[in-house]
Copies of this chain bind each other. A is one copy, B any other.
Amino acid sequence: MAQVSTERTRTADAALRARARSVMPAGMYGHLSVNLLPAEYPQFYDHAEGCHVWDVDGNEYVDLMCSFGPIILGHRHPAVEQAANAQLARGDTMSGPGRVMVELAELFVDRVDHADWAMFAKNGTVATTLWLPIARAATGRNRVLAASGAYHGAAPWCTIKLDGVTPEDRANNFYYTFTDLGSVERAFQEAGPEQVAAVFVSPFRHDAGHDQEMTDPDFARGLRALCDRYGAALVIDEVRAGFRIVHGGTWEPFGVRPDLSAWSKAIANGYPLGAVLGNDAMRVGAERIFATGSFWFQSVPMAASVATITALREENAVERMEAAGQMLRDGLADQASSHGIQIRQTGPVQMPNLSFVGDTHFERAMVFAAAAAEGGALIHPRHNWFLSAAHEADDIKRVLEATDVAFAAVRRRDVRD
């Protein structure tokens, strides 16, 4: 707990940032760039263990970002590392796949209700982008529906920033409003129902910069019924939520089975892997397209994935993340109330999202995140956080000590303004 009051130095980080500015666009790119975050955030990390990370200046943090999702059992989980190392000693990128590819495909088909087959790739965006040709080849149709504002990755067809994107990249996209079934029907009509290959949906709304929004089971069932009526594939984006909310497909408790699903992030506890799962109706689409990558057949991430999915169930990971997440949510609610600050906490407790009422420009969120980082808790002002099965009660207590100081900083700022 010493970290809370110790002034943290950032000289090594600053030196690396200066070097990075000359050899990388804007010094860093993508979702891990801290260019839009408070100065208290480290850009570069030295090592990680369990739910703890250390930056290049030796500052320690309880990590509530979990590498933006991939770390679900904690860094360097023994069973996962053992499986990965054993495979690495035999071979990783060989001139063909290893046995473990079949084992992993069988495991996914076993654990995810709707899946009859699996394909593997390296990232979430590749998995979500692979939907398109599969659904198109399977249905012979080109148009797709997606929720407006939904994040499905960083490819031109879906990226949140329009620089470098052409009108043609999105000519086949039509949009509905999550979770408004009437808007889905209207989007079908706008696109022409007989031209719609697929409807894309996230298991709940978890777009950065928005409060999270849970899914009404009737919306899920209605979406399935509309897809059935019009002969379109229902495609669910499990990249961010997969295996954190449900061990299997996130909509399985609703009794709703998609035709295709995309997975990545947590499925191999930090090893690079993406997956597309499909049912038999979509198999022909997956068989017709040509999609591949030099590293798609790596055996090490697949061995890590088998170990991860196995450990997730054996260690009751969902329940443990839920317990830690609930403790965090309750603690934050109590602190906000005692500081007289109005907050909203939305989404599943395993993927916390905290926003400040009326904080349109995230000014309070930035003050809060800066003070939390300074206090040794790594969170994010605009993006949901992630719990892992490595977050124990003591870790959450340490986070809450940091957030108590952070709420006080927000309060001071509110009073000052």
Contacts and interface: CB of A to CB of B under 8 A. Distances in A.
A271 interface: yes
B125 A31 contact: no
Nearest to A29: B119
B91 A46 contact: yes
Interface residues of A, number: 106
A156 B96 CA distance: 24
A293 B119 contact: no
A164 B95 contact: no
A164 B16 contact: no
B106 A19 contact: yes
B294 A265 contact: yes
A98 B100 CA distance: 29
A30 B123 contact: no
Interface string A88-107: 00111111111101100110
Interface stretch (A132-140, A226-234, A351-359, A402-410): A132-140
A275 to B, nearest CB: 11
A135 B47 CA distance: 35
A11 interface: no
Interface in A115-140: 116-119, 122-126, 129, 132-137
A395 interface: no
Contacts of A65: 95
A44 interface: yes
Contacts of A202: none
Given A45-B95, A93-B70, A95-B53, A290 B25 contact: no
A68 interface: yes
- Which 4 pairs between the two chains have the least Cβ-Cβ distance? A133-B164, A30-B292, A272-B295, A25-B286
10 contacts: A25-B286, A44-B102, A48-B94, A69-B294, A71-B93, A122-B126, A126-B126, A154-B293, A160-B290, A272-B272
